[in-house]
Amino acid sequence: MAVYLDHNATTPLHEAVYEGMQSWMRSVVGNPSSLHRFGRLQRDAIEHAREQVAALVDAHPEQVIFTSGGTESNNLLIKGLVAATDAKRIAVSAIEHMSVLEPAAHTAPDCVVDSIPANSAGYISTDTLEQTLHADTALVSVMAANNETGVIQDVAKLAACGKKNGAWFHTDASQAAGKIAVSYRQWGVDAMTLSAHKFYGPLGAGALIVNRRLPLLAQQHGGSQEHGLRAGTENVPAIVGFGIAAELAQKQLGQRAEVMLALRTRLETALARIPAVTVFAQQSNRLPNTVQFGVAGFDGETLLMQLDRAGFAVSSGSACTSGKTEPSHVLNAMGVADELALAAVRVSFGRDNTSSDVDAFVQALSGIVDRMSNSAVMMAATI
pLDDT at 379 exceeding the cut of 50 = no
Q: CA–CA separation, 201 vs 205, rounded Å?
A: 8
Of 214-228, 307-321, 340-354, the poorest mean pLDDT is in: 307-321
- Reported confidence tier of residue 317, pLDDT bands at 50, 70, 90: low
CA angle 56, 92, 322 (to 5 degrees): 80
Q: What are 184-208's pLDDT values in tens digits? A: 999 999 999 999 999 999 999 999 9
pTM above the 0.85 mark?
yes
**Annotated catalytic residue: which of 320, 360, 364, 372?**
320
User: So what's the pLDDT on residue 127?
Assistant: 98
pLDDT at 97: 97
What average pLDDT does the segment 132-144 reach?
A: 98
What residue segments make up the domains of the chain, in order of their start?
Answer: 3-9+254-382, 15-248
pLDDT at residue 377, as a whole number? 43
pLDDT band at 381 (very low <50, low <70, confident <90, very high): very low
pLDDT value of position 324: 59
pLDDT tier at 145, thresholds 50, 70, 90: very high
Nearest by Cα to 245 from 182, 198, 176, 209: 198
What is the band of 281 on the pLDDT scale with cuts at 50, 70, 90? very high
CATH class of 15-248: alpha beta
Spelled out in words, what is the top-level CATH class assigned to the domain 3-9+254-382?
Answer: alpha beta
Average pLDDT for 94-108: 97
Predicted pLDDT at 323: 54
Rounded Cα distance, 82 and 303, in Å: 42
User: What pLDDT, in 10s, does the model give residues 40-61?
Assistant: 999 999 999 999 999 999 999 9
Q: How confident is the model at residue 380 (pLDDT cuts 50, 70, 90)?
A: very low
Residue with more model confidence, 26 or 116: 116
Q: What is the mean pLDDT of the chain?
A: 94
134 and 140 in contact (C-beta within 8 Å)? no
Between 113 and 1, the more confident residue is 113
Confidence band of 217 (pLDDT split at 50, 70, 90): very high
In 33-123, at which residue ranges do the beta strands (DSSP E only) sit?
64-67, 89-93, 112-116
| pLDDT at site 23 | 85
Residue 261: how many other CB atoms lie within 10 Å:
15
Cα 363 to Cα 270: distance, rounded to the nearest angstrom:
9
Residue 111 annotated as catalytic: no
Asked if the model's pLDDT at residue 288 lies above 80, the reply is: yes
